[in-house]
A and B are shown apart, each in its own frame.
Chain A
């Protein structure tokens, strides 16, 4: 499957209350992603494409579109490099239909 799918268009339909400046998920040690993780599976498994594989081998994370599923934390078993909390009360994704 090589179809390029623009997930931003999907996320655009969703309602969010972003907690500016307080991301609820953090990469603990970015250098681990760059140096130790070959698969970087978060960059294609995350259903909101919050994780991006950068050209220089780094992985960057922007949580604004996060759907709060928890996948990234669970698949990062070898390095446990994802610090994952729910957003503060009332913030994050607000499903209209769910």
Chain B
């Protein structure tokens, strides 16, 4: 393999596939290298697919992409140990095609996406780990793989190698990931008959429900839980900031947290009888705007999780991944057409395109959110309990008059958080969200 390509893409997740597809479709010679047995075999996601980002790349993806259910109902639950307080939003608008979002099973979806990449003309090699970037001075000129004679060359290398961002770290483009900038999530997939899911979640055909949860399920750590309905399975998971896991005096393991969540009286009935067929763990880059590293240089660009492109507040990642992959490929296409080489200056258009897109605009909007939640664990401990206690007090009919109940609730809030604390928390949230 001493061939030279226009573009080498490392990794076959959503960002890598978007990049390889876009570049190959435009006629560039593309080599994509994936370490898994097949594309998807190393990849983990919840998983929700937001249609828009993929539509911009493959407009008719709905014709043959493996989609599970389109989401018609979004639930948000705040839990304590026995109860939850929640909001549900369900709309028949979400039942009108083209649908806005779907649950997907990543191993299947990535395999499908990869078939499109091959159709577009890219050469896809699996079961091959890229060990490092090849440099000529400060210009990236290719990669070295763990195969005999595994040096391959290209004008541009697009790093879609996932959250650990191994290659850019080894090359010194950025330092080690901070534990406070990534969440560790674990999940299980639980299989059950389609009819059971439809009865339990009040849906039919291909309709689906998403439940996002926070509160006592995370043992006081900053994190969230989720439940997604697939066609004949449920994905259930929980994730917390890695730094919180590390510092937790209870030394709770991620799988113990997941088991406790599964046993919660509001969750257990929904998953009862489910046959667990896989247990996954994965890091999610949640550092947001301030944690995005330098994303381009001489002969290289970083896309997807490898660049920290995740909007943790809105649980969006794969759409940012696909968009960054597409924009990097478009930059490579433009640089090739311009014929002025592939130094950083010629790839700077990638950063401007990111800044112009929803990717950096959204990350910028929520730039302070990670630190607000990080320094204020009451949002994950005190408030969920207070809110649930308030609901229980108000809704339990026991002969106590409502005015007295109101007083009791108010004093329970003041006992746990001072008035200034309450006002301060509201202000912090408002400032971070605005």
Contact = CB atoms under 8 A, between A and B. Distances in A.
Contact of B278 (A7, A14, A46, A90): A14
A87 interface: yes
A45 B246 contact: yes
Given A10-B279, A14-B278, A86 B107 contact: no
A46 B256 CA distance: 11
Contacts of A77: 176, 179
Interface in A35-91: 39, 41, 44-49, 67-71, 73-75, 77, 85-90
Contacts of B178: 74
Contacts of A69: 184, 281-283
Contact of B253 (A5, A39, A85, A96): A5
B259 A3 contact: yes
Interface string B244-283: 0111001111111101100000000000000011111111
B106 A98 contact: yes
Contacts of B255: 5, 7, 10, 47, 49
Interface in B159-214: 163-164, 166, 176-179, 182, 184, 186, 188-189
A97 B252 CA distance: 26
A32 interface: no
B42 interface: yes
Q: List 4 A-B pairs, minimum CB-CB distance, nearest first.
A: A90-B127, A47-B281, A98-B106, A10-B279
Interface of B: 35-37, 40-45, 47, 105-108, 110, 126-129, 145-147, 163-164, 166, 176-179, 182, 184, 186, 188-189, 219, 233, 242-243, 245-247, 250-257, 259-260, 276-283
A27 B257 CA distance: 26
A75 B260 contact: no
Given A69-B283, A97-B107, A1 B246 contact: no
Nearest to B250: A1
B356 to A, nearest CB: 31
B279 A13 contact: yes
A18 interface: no
Number of chain A interface residues as a range: 35 or more
Nearest to A39: B246
Contact of A45 (B37, B45, B254): B254
Given A94-B41, A95-B42, A45 B253 contact: yes
A86 to B, nearest CB: 5
Given A74-B177, A88-B146, A95 B259 contact: no
A53 B283 CA distance: 23
B179 A75 contact: yes
Contact of B280 (A44, A67, A89): A67
B242 A95 contact: no
A74 B242 contact: yes
A67 B145 contact: no
A8 B235 CA distance: 19
25 contacts: A3-B259, A5-B255, A10-B276, A14-B278, A41-B246, A45-B245, A47-B255, A71-B283, A74-B179, A74-B283, A75-B179, A86-B166, A88-B129, A88-B146, A89-B126, A89-B129, A89-B146, A89-B147, A90-B36, A90-B37, A90-B126, A90-B127, A93-B42, A98-B105, A98-B280
Given A1-B219, A5-B253, A11 B279 contact: yes
A98 B169 CA distance: 25
A1 B283 contact: no
B246 A95 contact: no
Contacts of A28: none
Contact of B246 (A17, A75, A92, A97): A75
B277 A7 contact: no
A98 B185 CA distance: 12
Contact of A86 (B129, B147, B188, B253): B129
A48 B44 CA distance: 15
Contacts of B43: 95, 98
A65 to B, nearest CB: 10
B41 A95 contact: yes
A45 B186 CA distance: 11
A98 B129 contact: no
A16 B260 CA distance: 26
A77 to B, nearest CB: 7
B184 A47 contact: yes
A73 B277 CA distance: 27
A3 B262 CA distance: 13
A11 B278 CA distance: 8
